[in-house]
Structure 1
Amino acid sequence: MTRRDRLPLLAGILLTVVGVLAVVLVVNLDRLTAPRPVDSAAVREAITSENLMGHLAELQRTADENGGNRQAGEPGDAASVDHVEQQLRAAGDETRRESVLYQRVGASGTTDVATQNLFADLPGRSERTVVVGAHLDGVANGPGINDNGSGVAAVLETALQLAQADVQLDQTVRFAFWGGEEDGLHGSTQYVAGLDDAGRRNLTLYLNLDMVGSPNPTPHVYGGMGRPHRVERVLSEFLREQGVHPFTASFEGSDHQPFVAAGIPVGGLYTGASEGHTPADPCYHLACDRVDNIDPDMLDLMADALAHGVLTVAR
């Protein structure tokens, strides 16, 4: 091949490389650049403390009628999945369940556990997807209303109100209610492991809500974990506009961790557990983690922040 023959070939290769770099640049800019202003007021106004506390009252009733807990694989867990699914379907959402099977190792030996993940999608105009999740199971010692009925209530109410608002988003939003978190992040780990290459590429963000109604709250926004994403700025700025100055959460023990390990950007909200001299939640993993262990105003604010964040990053 002569030098003159090589010139068109080299030009073609150069154009291909430039095209690939342009796509990569657009994807990264979408993750990192300042968000466009979004008006989330209508959806946030529809998310009320009354509705959120109503979801928690139902989860409390579910635990009370099933041995006092909602532990994965137990009757209270199954009834909790049924309740959330009924709420989603009543709003017109299609739901999908995924079986989660594992073994729980305890002082009395090994127990086979059968629980479920529950999903509902808000379709967008593209194949890109934001997953918003909260673990639905609790511990054996109590009803698990702050940990993690509060996260479930916020995610559920956001899903219901976005469905009612009939919003048009660019990205699909998948609402996920995980099974088996308290025993080792089983539901979320299984979901991430089951993603194919296209599924991982199209999953642009995972948002996690775990304990967002603590009675002595210390509001946190997830940050400093894995690949950066503008959602940290979105959530932090929203909370500051409401007069709340959040801390940064960078812990590992919740359902965002499998996504971090897979290289998927994560974000989330948290109001504290048993850490510190004055615990944010003195009933963490105890029988007193009931409805009266919740700060309704903080839960409402966290749900508003979630709705605002989803509308901002998925549109």
Structure 2
Amino acid sequence: MDTTARRRAFAVGVITTALVGPTLVVTSPAHADPISETRAIRKAVTLTGVREHQQAFQQIANANGGTRASGTPGYDASADYVEDKLTAAGYTVTRQPFDFAYYQLLATPEFQQISPSAVTYAEGIDFADMAYSGSGNVTAAVQGVDLLLPPGPTANTSTSGCEAGDFAGFIPGNIALMQRGSCAFGLKAANAEAAGAVGVIIFNEGQPGRTDTLFGTLGAPAGIPAIGTSFALGQELANTPGLTVRIEVEAISEIRSTVNLSAQTSGDANNVVVVGAHLDSVAGGPGINDNGSGSAAILEIAEQFKRLNISPRNQVRFMWFGAEENNLIGSSFYVSSLSEAELGRIRANLNFDMIGSPNFVRFVYDGDNSAFPVSGGATDGPQGSGEIERIFRDYFVSQNLPSSETPFNGRSDYGPFIAQGIPAGGLFTGAEGVKTAAEAAVYGGTAGVAYDPCYHQACDTFANNSNTALDQMSDAAAQATLLLAKRNLTRKPLVDPAQPVSATAGASVGGGGLHPDHGEEVAR
């Protein structure tokens, strides 16, 4: 996910597929009892074991500036820790290096009108830095670039800043004022920089739904400061004669290197279950819930597979992804590195991202899109994801624990998998979404308060945790991992749409808790 939670409201990263090909069928042996079958692994995967790994992540963050973000020493130390634990357990660990665009704000951005009036604009309300903005403190005249005012009747009518020719007559040393539209923000900024602009302001386009302050990304590091504003403010700036403004952004914006980690069990390499979690935090905190919780849980599960000498039918590939907080870069890189044949061997993906939120709800990804339909119809999610959802929901029923569905929209590391038609599922206990009164009545906790009040903040520490949630969700993760490891998994041609999962585990009382939304608006 991007470096500030506020960018998430403008994301366009919903991943959908129109899968009409194979579907996952999970076949259980006759008279199989999943609860008895998984009792040993659930007993072995302890809260104490998971918390020990989280404590190690906290100590790593403490020793490395309070962060475990990809591209920092804190992430490198986290990866070393996971590798050491896996190696000690008997695994062979694979590191997959990759480069990515790193961005970290070092101070609150500033934006002021100097003349003809003195106005100070509020960061996060009137304007926001563009992710991958360059650093700089510039004061200069503002010059509009091919603006379309009033805006066209439909979205993406404006081509402001999309072509080098738009800057004919642009005065080097000015700040370029551009309008959202038909090309990427990064292209606009690059064209402005090439024309001699010392800063960039991009305002929303102006049609319904495209008027709020932009929280966008340039997609790659820029050399000049860049901010986004609302349509109203942009129009006001465009219509102000003799306008001079000051923009200050202090940030690190550069290409860095990081790694994904993987370790796999024995079992049929033609039938692989990928069990994943992202290992990185945001730059602004240690990330012990997001996502030290999921990372610690699957590390504990991997260790106990070895300790119990489990010989699975299907190969389980445990994975810790880097740069998830930078828009799913690690998982996207991994999936894109696989051949068509290798992708075809992956039968399912399980994803665990934030499973210890202090004001939790037991959320299960809505694999069949029954509670949270996505655009395009019932087949937008890979068929078979409903089967994975059912495994989790049935487990919670067996434990007399309510569970609720959360949107299955591709906005965590399972996204690149479902984009390739691979069935997926997972668990989540809530982020910055606010717990409703109905949810509090079912799950306890405090209505009107975020599921994780420390989401993406420095206070996401070892203390930012619900032992109850972490214990229950770790057991559910162990249950699903073992069942998919042992079951006959086939990919049969799809005949009928998947049937919705009935809410047998109590009413789905919530709206999904704002699952981490890592798609960022780069194109418009």
Pick the TM interval, shorter chain. 0.7 to 0.9
The 5 A counterparts of 1:60-99 are 60-99=58-97
What is the match of residue 382 of structure 2? Answer: 226
For residues 34 and 231 of structure 1, the distance between their equivalents in structure 2, rounded to whole angstroms, comes to 19
Query: TM-score w.r.t. structure 2 length?
Result: 0.53
Query: TM-score w.r.t. structure 1 length?
Result: 0.88
The structural deviation recorded for 1:117 is 0.2
For residues 330 and 302 of structure 2, the distance between their equivalents in structure 1, rounded to whole angstroms, comes to 20
Equivalences, count? 291
* Aligned Cα root-mean-square deviation (Å): 2.0
What is the match of residue 271 of structure 1? Answer: 429
The 5 A counterparts of 1:209-248 are 209-223=352-366, 224=369, 225-229=381-385, 230-248=387-405
Residues 222/63 of structure 1: CA separation in 2 closer, same or farther (3 Å cut): same
String of CA shifts for 1:294-315, please: whole Å, max 9, x gaps.
1112111111111111111221
Match of 1:285, as an amino acid? H
Contact 1:35–1:234 (8 Å) recurs in 2 = no
For residues 28 and 254 of structure 1, the distance between their equivalents in structure 2, rounded to whole angstroms, comes to 21
The structural deviation recorded for 1:36 is 4.1
3-state secondary structure, aligned to 1:292: coil
- Structure whose residues are more often helix by fraction: 1
What is the match of residue 462 of structure 2? Answer: 291
Residues 35/248 of structure 1: CA separation in 2 closer, same or farther (3 Å cut): farther
The answer on 1:46 being equivalent to 2:44 is yes
3-state secondary structure, aligned to 2:473: helix
For residues 268 and 24 of structure 2, the distance between their equivalents in structure 1, rounded to whole angstroms, comes to 19
The answer on 1:255 being equivalent to 2:255 is no
Residues 33/284 of structure 1: CA separation in 2 closer, same or farther (3 Å cut): farther
Contact 1:273–1:280 (8 Å) recurs in 2 = yes
What is the match of residue 30 of structure 1? Answer: 26
Task: Give the unaligned 5+ runs of structure 1.
Answer: 1-23
Larger radius of gyration: 2
Match of 1:310, as an amino acid? T
Residues 228/33 of structure 1: CA separation in 2 closer, same or farther (3 Å cut): farther
Task: Give the unaligned 5+ runs of structure 2.
Answer: 1-20, 103-130, 136-221, 223-252, 370-380, 435-447, 487-524
For residues 137 and 31 of structure 1, the distance between their equivalents in structure 2, rounded to whole angstroms, comes to 35
For residues 32 and 44 of structure 1, the distance between their equivalents in structure 2, rounded to whole angstroms, comes to 19
The structural deviation recorded for 1:28 is 4.3
String of CA shifts for 1:220-241, please: whole Å, max 9, x gaps.
1112243233221111111122
For residues 173 and 49 of structure 1, the distance between their equivalents in structure 2, rounded to whole angstroms, comes to 22
3-state secondary structure, aligned to 2:331: helix
For residues 72 and 227 of structure 1, the distance between their equivalents in structure 2, rounded to whole angstroms, comes to 33
Contact 1:100–1:179 (8 Å) recurs in 2 = no
What is the match of residue 301 of structure 1? Answer: 472
Contact 1:129–1:172 (8 Å) recurs in 2 = yes
For residues 227 and 286 of structure 1, the distance between their equivalents in structure 2, rounded to whole angstroms, comes to 36
3-state secondary structure, aligned to 1:264: coil
Contact 1:131–1:174 (8 Å) recurs in 2 = yes
What is the match of residue 168 of structure 2? Answer: none
The answer on 1:101 being equivalent to 2:102 is no
For residues 316 and 458 of structure 2, the distance between their equivalents in structure 1, rounded to whole angstroms, comes to 34
